[in-house]
Amino acid sequence: MNAKEAVKYVQENECKLVDIRFTDLFGMWHHFSLPADDFSEAIFEDGLGFDGSSIRGFQSIDESDMLLVPDPATLFIDPFAPEEYKTAIIICDIEDTITRERYSRDPRFVAKKAEAYLKTTGIADTALFGPEAEFFLFDSLTYTNHPHDSGFQLDSEEAHWNSGTSSQAYTVRQKGGYFPCSPNDRLQNVRTEMMYRMKEIGIHVEVHHHEVAVGQCEIDMRYNTLLIMADNLQKYKYVVKNVAHQWGMAATFMPKPLFGDNGSGMHVHQSLWKNDNTLMYDEKGYAGLSDISRWYIGGLLKHAAALLAFCAPTTNSYRRLVPGYEAPINLVYSSRNRSACIRIPMYNMSPKAKRIEFRAPDPTANGYLAMSAMLMAGLDGIQNRIEPPKPIDKDLYELPAEEKKDIKQTPGSLRQTLLALKEDHEFLLKGDVFTKDLIENYINYKLEHECDAMDLRPHPYEFYLYADA
**Are both 120 and 96 inside the same structural domain?**
no
**Which is the catalytic residue, given 5, 46, 51, 432?**
51
Count of domains forming the chain = 2
Residues β-bridged to residue 207: 220
Domain boundary at 48, 81, 103, which?
103
**Which is the catalytic residue, given 93, 134, 185, 450?**
134
Q: pLDDT digit of tens for each residue in the chain (469 aa)? A: 899 999 999 999 999 999 999 999 999 999 999 999 999 999 999 999 989 889 998 988 877 888 999 999 999 999 999 999 999 999 999 999 889 999 999 999 999 999 999 999 999 999 999 999 999 999 999 999 999 999 999 999 999 998 887 667 788 888 888 889 888 899 999 999 999 999 999 999 999 999 999 999 999 999 999 999 999 999 999 999 999 999 999 999 999 999 999 999 999 999 999 999 999 999 999 999 999 999 999 999 999 999 999 999 999 999 999 876 677 888 999 987 777 899 998 887 888 999 999 999 999 999 999 999 999 999 999 999 999 999 887 777 777 777 777 889 999 999 999 999 999 999 999 999 999 999 999 999 999 999 999 999 999 999 999 999 9
Domain limits at 48?
A: 3-103
**Which is the catalytic residue, given 21, 186, 267, 355?**
267
The verdict on whether 426 is a catalytic residue reads no
Q: Measure the N-to-C terminal CA separation of the chain; round to a whole number of Å.
A: 67
**Which is the catalytic residue, given 71, 115, 211, 380?**
211
**Are both 350 and 413 inside the same structural domain?**
yes
Task: Say how far residue 195 (Cα) sits from the centre of its chain.
Answer: 18
**Which is the catalytic residue, given 158, 261, 357, 450?**
357
The verdict on whether 173 is a catalytic residue reads no
The verdict on whether 359 is a catalytic residue reads yes
The verdict on whether 204 is a catalytic residue reads no
Measured distance CA(232)–CA(208) in Å, rounded: 16
**Are both 149 and 195 inside the same structural domain?**
yes
Query: Could you tell me if residue 108 is inside a domain?
Result: no
Domain boundary at 78, 103, 128, which?
103
Query: Could you tell me if residue 202 is inside a domain?
Result: yes
**Are both 261 and 182 inside the same structural domain?**
yes
Phi-psi region of 47 (alpha: psi -120 to 50; beta: other; left: phi over 0): left
Closest by Cα among 422, 402, 425, 420 to 410:
420
**Are both 94 and 161 inside the same structural domain?**
no
**Which is the catalytic residue, given 24, 71, 115, 132?**
132
Measured distance CA(440)–CA(138) in Å, rounded: 36
Phi-psi region of 463 (alpha: psi -120 to 50; beta: other; left: phi over 0): alpha
Look up residue 59 and give its DSSP letter.
-
**Are both 98 and 137 inside the same structural domain?**
no
| Coil vs helix vs strand at 391 | coil
The verdict on whether 357 is a catalytic residue reads yes
**Are both 73 and 203 inside the same structural domain?**
no
Q: CA dist 76 to 41, 139, 202, 326, Å?
A: 17, 30, 8, 37
**Are both 30 and 162 inside the same structural domain?**
no
| Coil vs helix vs strand at 358 | strand
Phi, psi of 358 (to 5 degrees): -90, 115
The verdict on whether 336 is a catalytic residue reads no
Read off the CATH number of the domain in which 78 is found.
3.10.20.70
Read off the CATH number of the domain in which 457 is found.
3.30.590.10
The verdict on whether 51 is a catalytic residue reads yes
**Which is the catalytic residue, given 218, 231, 362, 380?**
218
